[in-house]
């Protein structure tokens, strides 16, 4: 018996020791489990960090009682499986070691808001509505570590959060290039991950019709295909000779809309009218003013052939199309375009002119207003509202229309003052088809320069609006036009992380936003984009160079990099920088013609693209410049100093150096500080008629001793070179202190040219005085 007892004691002892060893090992594993950070994008309204952390492991339960909450829990599980290899059990109840989802019924609470509390033994997510609970889950995902592990520590926190704007959008043009359904779903995943709630799907274009309309099969058979596509930039006028096409079936559209709805993303379709309709005319020529023949567009840009406003069959066609579209998209809005509709055909069309006479319309702009209002009445009768680009303001705004302001902010201001809802999407902040780096290694883009920092600096509510008018600004949207993006990887490169910056602009309180803090939070966030296999751009961590006046007739270059541990080295003799070059310790003074080259190094290796900036020294460099009128907001470097900073703008106009004027003249006065000899005057101007940039009708240089009485010293009226035209003129026996430069814009774009009837752009840069 004693022997038996001894054996039992031994077995019991061994069992206890194994259990303790297992517990110790488990504890050790948990202690070594990766831990997340409170580093959230978009930054929440309120975050209080707590000392206790929550340990998530296989025993943790997800508590979700409604189908909507269970759906959100499932999305969390999908992310978790990537990190741990397992999913949590979704249960109806649980208290300890549980993540509890609850969607409240407080109708007075902030829409889409939530509260997230992470304690030692429990996580609570209380959504004000279903979207709020979903966004609480998105924030919880960002509290998870980015490293994989069997168990994960989630930092303690108490977060209260809700959006600043109700409309937080991202657009995608599938007319120029077509993208498969799988990518559209990934695009929507990324929207919802960043708490964006609207996907603007641009489905019809001159270059391709991308949605199945059963009543009009030739839209699929003819309008969805073009014989070839442009390659390179529009100005090159080269083509690949390869047929191109594609469209979404109605079943595919339903699938995408359902997928988006699960992620609290509203899909707004855009069916363009009356312009950007050449593909439809190719399929059904009777819809145009001339009757054709037409072919689906192969060039990018704007075409003169648009829907005939005098033909009743056009309206019947569009009503039929919209009837089918409305069965697929249950949302409140249908986007009808309304932009870039040349009036060239309407001006000569007997049907259009008869319509104008019958309706008492004073001009073709009023005819476009008639067209839009007629279609709006039809959509209103079906319980829907329209959104249109800001051209729908011309000739009179449709009664219930929402305006999408893209040509700067002026259209948004005008619409809000008329008490219409507005979505802001100005090009210089919200167009993600612009260049995002000045590097020569960038893929071809349409032009412009919109880095992440500029997107982040955007304030959607214009200062010109009163307190009563400001609420008409419902939000903003990033636009992705795909002329120069022919694959999904390129789209991702152009969109992220710029869309991440815009998401914070639209969600977070304005006083919470800080760019340096955003970049710090972006660093771990990029690992999440890696998990989603997003081909994002990395320019935000490259060198940023800022050129400023030194106040003494020269300029200084300030360099900065957000790369942790990176060190900047530079040269001024045009040689490539290395770790043996001059280390950057403060602003670099430029007092002669030279090139500053710099690179950031980490562990002895260069990171990202090099900073390269040539400077041309001249008498006006760094001097005071006064403008009679500011440039258009879309092409405004922020200061007239760009005219005298020693930097010549590049032909791609993606370097934030050109001053762009739309329909206005440019007048600038340079103060040289004293009366002195002037031997040379000059400036640079652009001639790129494709995107609507025309050389000036005339440039004049005038000189004055007192700033009051000016004498002309040179004028020029011919600028025939494509691209950059360098105006330079040697002078004899000219003295003065003030140099005035006047550039007269070309007027309206002529008939037959891209953008006919719109104001031509005037681009001016670098006033040269020696």
Say which residues have a Cβ less than 8 Å from residue 39's Cβ, sequence separation at least 6. Answer: 142, 520, 521, 524, 525
The candidate with the shortest Cα–Cα distance to 527, out of 36, 32, 33, is 36
The answer to whether 366 touches 385, Cβ cutoff 8 Å, is no
Angle between helices 312-328 and 250-262 (to 10 degrees): 50
**3-class secondary structure, 364:** helix
In 3D, which of 577, 617, 618 has the Cα closest to residue 596?
Answer: 577
Paired tokens of 750: 């002529």
Q: Which of 418, 445, 384 is nearest to 650 (CA)?
A: 445
CB atoms within 10 A of CB 206: 29
β-strands 54-56, 152-154 pairing? antiparallel
> Could you tell me if 330 and 257 are in contact, meaning their C-beta atoms sit under 8 angstroms apart?
yes
- Alpha-carbon distance values, 483 to 207, 222, 267 (Å): 10, 20, 22
**Beta carbons of 395 and 369 less than 8 angstroms apart:** yes
Q: How far is Cα 104 from Cα 551, in angstroms, rounded to an integer?
A: 60
Alpha-carbon distance 496 to 491, whole Å? 9
DSSP calls for 33-91: S-B--S--SSPPSEEEE-S--EEE-TT-EEE--SHHHHHHHHHHHHHHHHHHS--PEEE
The residue from 205, 272, 340, 454 that is catalytic is 340
Q: Which residue has the tokens 């210089």?
A: 428
Active site (annotated) includes residue 548? no
Dihedral, CA of residue 446, residue 447, residue 451 and residue 456, to nearest 10: -80
C-alpha distances in angstroms, 767 versus 216, 488, 648, 685?
56, 41, 9, 10
Report d(CA 578, CA 584) in Å as an integer. 12
Give the catalytic positions in this structure.
340
């Amino acid at each position: 018996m004693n022997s038996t007892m001894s054996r039992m004691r031994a077995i019991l002892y061994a069992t206890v020791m194994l259990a303790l060893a297992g517990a110790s090992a488990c504890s050790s594993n948990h202690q070594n489990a990766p831990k997340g950070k409170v580093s959230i994008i978009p930054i929440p309204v309120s975050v209080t960090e707590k000392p206790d952390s929550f340990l998530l492991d296989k025993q943790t339960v997800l508590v979700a009682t409604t189908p909507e909450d269970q759906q959100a829990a499932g999305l969390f599980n999908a992310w978790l499986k990537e990190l741990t290899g397992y999913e949590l059990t979704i249960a109806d109840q649980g208290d300890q070691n549980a993540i509890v989802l609850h969607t409240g019924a407080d109708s007075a609470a902030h829409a889409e808001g939530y509260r997230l509390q992470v304690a030692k033994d429990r996580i609570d997510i209380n959504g004000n509505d279903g979207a709020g609970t979903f966004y609480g889950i998105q924030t919880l995902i960002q509290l998870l570590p980015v490293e994989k592990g069997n168990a994960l520590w989630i930092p303690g926190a108490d977060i209260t959060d809700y959006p600043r704007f109700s409309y937080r959008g991202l657009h995608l043009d599938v007319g120029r290039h077509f993208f498969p359904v799988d990518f559209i779903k990934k695009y929507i995943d990324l929207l919802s991950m960043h708490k964006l709630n609207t996907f603007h799907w641009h489905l019809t274009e001159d270059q391709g019709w991308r949605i199945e309309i059963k009543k009009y099969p030739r839209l699929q058979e003819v309008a969805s295909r073009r014989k070839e596509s442009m390659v390179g930039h529009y100005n090159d006028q080269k083509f690949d000779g390869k047929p191109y096409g594609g469209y979404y079936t109605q079943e595919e559209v339903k699938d995408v809309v359902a997928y988006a709805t699960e992620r609290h993303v509203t899909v707004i379709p855009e069916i363009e009218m009356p312009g950007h309709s050449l593909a439809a005319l190719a399929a059904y020529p009777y819809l145009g003013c001339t009757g054709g023949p037409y072919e689906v567009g192969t060039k990018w840009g704007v075409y003169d052939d648009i829907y005939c406003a005098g033909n009743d069959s056009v309206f019947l066609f569009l009503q039929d199309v919209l009837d089918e579209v409305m069965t697929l998209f249950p949302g409140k809005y249908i986007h009808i375009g309304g932009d870039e509709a040349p009036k060239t055909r309407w001006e000569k069309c007997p049907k259009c002119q008869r319509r104008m006479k019958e309706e008492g319309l004073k001009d073709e702009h009023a005819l476009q207003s008639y067209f839009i209002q007629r279609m709006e009445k039809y959509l209103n009768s079906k319980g829907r509202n329209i959104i249109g680009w800001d051209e729908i303001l011309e000739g009179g705004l449709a009664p219930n229309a929402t305006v999408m302001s893209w040509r700067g902010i002026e259209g948004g201001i005008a619409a809000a003052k008329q008490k219409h809802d507005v979505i802001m999407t100005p090009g210089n902040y919200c167009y993600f088809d612009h260049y995002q780096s000045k590097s020569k290694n960038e893929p071809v883009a349409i032009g412009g320069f919109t880095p992440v920092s500029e997107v982040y600096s955007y304030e959607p509510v214009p200062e010109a609006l009163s307190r009563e008018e400001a609420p008409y600004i419902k939000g903003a949207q990033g636009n992705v036009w795909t002329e120069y993006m022919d694959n999904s990887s390129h789209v991702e490169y152009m969109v992220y992380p710029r869309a991440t910056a815009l998401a914070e602009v639209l969600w977070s309180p304005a006083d919470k936003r800080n760019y340096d803090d955003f970049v710090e939070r972006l660093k771990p966030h990029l690992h999440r984009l890696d998990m989603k296999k997003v081909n994002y751009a990395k320019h935000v961590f490259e060198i940023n160079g800022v050129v400023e006046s030194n106040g003494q007739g020269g300029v200084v270059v300030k360099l900065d990099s957000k790369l942790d541990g990176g060190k900047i080295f530079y040269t001024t003799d045009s040689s490539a920088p290395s770790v043996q070059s001059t280390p950057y310790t403060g602003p670099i003074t430029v007092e002669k013609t030279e090139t500053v080259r710099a690179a950031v190094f980490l562990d002895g290796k260069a990171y990202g693209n090099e900073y390269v900036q040539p400077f041309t020294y001249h008498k006006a460099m760094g001097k005071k410049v006064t403008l009679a009128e500011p440039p258009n907001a879309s092409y405004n470097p922020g200061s007239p100093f760009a005219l005298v900073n020693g930097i010549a703008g590049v032909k791609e106009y993606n370097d934030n150096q050109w001053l762009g004027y739309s329909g206005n003249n440019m007048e600038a006065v340079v103060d040289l500080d004293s009366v002195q000899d002037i031997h040379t005057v000059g400036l640079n101007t652009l001639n790129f008629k494709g995107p609507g940039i025309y050389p000036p009708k005339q440039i004049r240089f005038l000189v004055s001793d007192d700033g009051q009485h000016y004498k002309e010293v040179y004028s020029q009226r011919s600028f025939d070179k494509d691209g950059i035209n360098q105006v330079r003129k040697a002078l004899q026996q000219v003295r003065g202190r003030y140099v005035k430069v006047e550039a007269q814009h070309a007027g309206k774009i002529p008939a037959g040219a891209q953008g006919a009837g719109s104001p031509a752009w005037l681009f001016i840069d670098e006033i040269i005085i020696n």
